[in-house]
Amino acid sequence: MLVLVAPGQGAQTPGFLIPWLDLPGVEDRLREWSDAIDLDLVHYGTKATEDEIRDTAVAQPLLVAASLISARQLFATADDVVATVGAAAGHSVGELAAAALTGTVSDGAAMTLVRRRGQAMAEAAATTETGMAALLGGDEAVVLPHLEKLGLTPANVNGAGQIVAAGTAEQIAALVENKPEGTRRVVPLKVAGAFHTHHMAPAVSALESATAELTVADPLTRYVSNKDGQVVTSGRELAQRLVGQVANPVRWDRCMETFKELGVTALIEAAPGGTLTGLAKRALPGVKTLALKTPDDLDAARELIAAVSAE
């Protein structure tokens, strides 16, 4: 069973869209979305600096665009996804790409919504200096009480020995100086806010307004939600979860548990891939994984899809 996943914020790097622009129709599609959301995706994906694409209002639309562009090379329509993919999910903002790929919303609607999401979260982050840091290794039973003691939130529980903490700049600095016993490293992330915490509460109301008139359909493929790893079958419920998700933790560990329960044998991560396949290699041993980093990975992805289909 094949799982299709889309990465979250922090996966972007300067110039990562450059090779994708060589594919027929990609630049036209990106410029169409750019005009619709008033953000030059081509510029930010090819020429912008690391600091420029760290901006939440830029990074989020850029990531969803990249995931859609790359996945559409393998699955042109939701029906193509249905024919091949057993389940789909996205990490944090990647959930919007997964919503489009499962036919819940159109690609254009996903881009419009992610633009508003990015702006709202950037505005919320601007009120207080906040950030996030990844804790590598360590036991949850030790790590979680330590974070609570420092006033930090476990914003991403990613499984495979990785938890991402979020809070104020001072709280993150304290964590770096005083890591939990058994944790190998604490790595500050290149994000501009404490996402998936109470610091993002102002963004929730903005997204509620943005989704109120959103046209949604029920997912055509199993959609696994970050909230709790559950399969969501209602398009309207999925939209509500996308709203609440910005101020609540991402439970990617539970998503991977659901993949395992569903019988996953292979996992493909849309561009800019790497992070989620890395987690899957540690948490889902025996599962074949492939990250779409450049168009050079497409042939291998097609071969993996064919192998899964033949099982």
Q: What whole-number distance in Å separates Cα of residue 16 and Cα of residue 294?
A: 8
Give the position of tokens 């289909």. Answer: 309
Output the CA torsion sign for 217, 63, 277, 268: positive
Q: 196 an active-site residue?
A: yes
User: Can you tell me whether residue 133 is helix, strand or coil?
Assistant: strand
- Please give the Cα distance from 195 to 138 (Å, whole number): 22
How many other C-beta atoms are found inside a 10 Å radius of the C-beta of residue 169? 13
| Torsion 196-201-207-208 (CA) sign | positive
Among the listed residues 34, 70, 92, 225, the single catalytic one is 92
Q: Which of 67, 196, 199, 225 is catalytic?
A: 196
CA distance 128 to 210: 24
Write out the H or E segment, with its range, that includes residue 310. helix 298-310
Classify burial at 135, counting beta carbons within 10 Å of its beta carbon; exposed 0-12, middle 13-18, buried 19 or more: buried
Q: Would residue 234 show up in a list of annotated catalytic residues for this protein?
A: no
What Cα–Cα distance (Å) separates residue 35 from each residue in 63, 71, 301?
A: 17, 21, 31
Active site residues per annotation: 92, 196
